[in-house]
């Protein structure tokens, strides 16, 4: 794939979900006969989600995202199928089945099967439950299938919609409007001033973990403006220069994180207590200790798969500045 070697060396590719690794073959999406024949190839594999819960294969202590067609078909009735692309020549699809099949309260749930492993995608990512190369396509499958599950009706006229283009579009049966899968931009930024950086924590974070500020980009905003607005709203810090460092697909449910480093122009933090529980400045030395999980007060940085870790690492270890 053109440019793939270059892409692999980028910071973005080293984030969790950042290394998709499949050739998307968009030129085949509108050829249903081609997609049907690809699905019948012996090396075709399927990532299966029951609602938004991935169903992993399990063999001993090893889990994997990919099922054969026979295995996938046996898991439950297919509600949606999307064509993700190919790994080399091997086709890769995503399949949506009934979310009740992953619900521990339901009878006959897939959670009971010893040859399967059923847990949420966030746990799969944080705990490294599938090989790194499988995480990004699994995340993409989950995000795309989840979009289908939420877009059964036309936002224009309210009539039903039908999947098209290998799952990369839905078309309205009433007014013919076309709807495309969303990815919602979120800016995430490390604000720095002199030799310190600003991090904060939400009450839902693991105890003692601090992370970067973040927020959705609003209509009419550049990424840089969104960084400056969020830094001001959440922490009372005015930001000047903003520099892009890395991006990360974040399928919860379907965001793209735009990671930046920002120049803070004042020190006096005024925290938005609705969004944040605590926030403070950390010296570079403290940031390094947090990344190494050696901070004397037990404070930690986000896990390696998170782009917040990438941003902190870039500033603390690699000397990136706005
Ligand atoms: Zn419509």
Is pLDDT of 225 > 70?
Answer: yes
DSSP states of 12-34 as a string? Answer: GGGSTT----SB--GGGTT-HHH
Average pLDDT over residues 145-172: 97
Report whether 234 contacts 216 (CB < 8 A): no
CB neighbours of 159 closer than 8 A, spacing ≥ 6? 153, 172, 173, 174, 175
Alpha carbon of 35 to ligand 1 centroid (Å): 26
Q: What is the pLDDT of residues 249-298, one digit of tens each?
A: 999 999 999 999 999 999 999 999 999 999 999 999 999 999 999 999 99
pLDDT of residue 3: 61
CA pair distance 300, 287, nearest whole angstrom: 9
pLDDT of residue 107: 73
Average pLDDT over residues 135-161: 97
Alpha carbon of 175 to ligand 1 centroid (Å): 4
Q: What is the pLDDT of residues 18-69, one digit of tens each?
A: 999 999 999 999 999 999 999 999 999 999 999 999 999 999 989 999 999 9
Residue of 265, 204, 193, 279 whose CA lies nearest to 235: 279
Report whether 155 contacts 179 (CB < 8 A): yes
pLDDT of residue 150: 95
pLDDT category of residue 111 using cuts at 50, 70 and 90? confident
CA pair distance 65, 88, nearest whole angstrom: 17
pLDDT of residue 223: 98
CA torsion sign for 25, 28, 30, 36 is: negative
Phi/psi region, residue 319 (left: phi>0; alpha: psi -120 to 50; beta: rest), is: left
Average pLDDT over residues 63-88: 97
pLDDT of residue 5: 67
Alpha carbon of 144 to ligand 1 centroid (Å): 20
pLDDT category of residue 182 using cuts at 50, 70 and 90? very high
pLDDT of residue 8: 73
pLDDT of residue 112: 87
Alpha carbon of 311 to ligand 1 centroid (Å): 42
pLDDT of residue 85: 98
Q: What is the pLDDT of residues 186-214, one digit of tens each?
A: 999 999 999 999 999 999 999 999 999 99
Q: Could you tell me the end-to-end alpha-carbon distance of the chain, in angstroms, rounded to an integer?
A: 32
pLDDT of residue 4: 63
pLDDT of residue 103: 87
- Which regions of the chain does DSSP assign to beta strands (E)? 45-50, 53-59, 62-64, 80-87, 90-97, 116-118, 161-164, 169-172, 178-179, 184-193, 196-201, 213-216, 239-250, 255-264, 278-283
Mean predicted lDDT score pLDDT of the chain: 95
Alpha carbon of 174 to ligand 1 centroid (Å): 5
Alpha carbon of 47 to ligand 1 centroid (Å): 30
């Amino acid at each position: 794939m053109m440019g793939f070697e270059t892409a692999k060396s980028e910071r973005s590719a080293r984030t969790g979900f950042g290394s998709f690794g499949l050739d998307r073959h968009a030129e085949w999406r509108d050829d249903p006969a081609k997609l049907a024949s690809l699905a019948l190839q012996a090396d075709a594999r399927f990532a299966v989600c029951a609602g938004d819960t991935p169903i992993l294969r399990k063999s001993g202590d090893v889990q994997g995202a990919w099922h054969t067609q026979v295995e996938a078909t046996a898991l439950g009735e297919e509600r949606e199928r999307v064509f993700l692309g190919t790994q080399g020549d091997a086709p890769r699809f995503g399949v949506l089945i009934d979310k009740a099949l992953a619900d521990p309260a339901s009878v006959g749930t897939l959670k009971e099967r010893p040859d399967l492993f059923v847990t949420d995608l966030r746990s799969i990512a944080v705990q490294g439950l599938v090989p790194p190369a499988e995480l990004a396509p699994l995340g993409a499958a989950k995000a795309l299938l989840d979009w289908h599950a939420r877009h059964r009706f036309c936002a224009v006229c309210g009539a039903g919609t039908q999947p098209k283009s290998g799952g990369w579009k839905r078309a309205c049966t009433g007014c013919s409007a076309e709807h495309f899968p969303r990815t919602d931009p979120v800016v995430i930024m490390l604000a720095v001033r002199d030799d310190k950086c600003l991090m904060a924590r939400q009450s839902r974070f693991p105890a003692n973990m601090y992370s970067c500020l973040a927020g959705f980009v609003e209509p009419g905003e550049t990424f840089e403006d969104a960084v400056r607005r969020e830094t001001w709203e959440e922490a009372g810090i005015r930001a000047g220069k903003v520099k892009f460092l890395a991006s990360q697909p974040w399928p919860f449910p379907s965001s793209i994180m735009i990671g930046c480093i920002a120049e803070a122009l004042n020190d006096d933090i005024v925290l938005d207590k609705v969004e944040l529980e605590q926030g403070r400045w950390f010296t570079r030395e403290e940031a390094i200790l947090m990344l190494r999980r050696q901070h004397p007060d037990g404070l930690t940085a986000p896990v390696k798969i998170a782009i917040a870790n990438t941003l902190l690492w870039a500033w603390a270890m690699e000397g990136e500045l706005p």
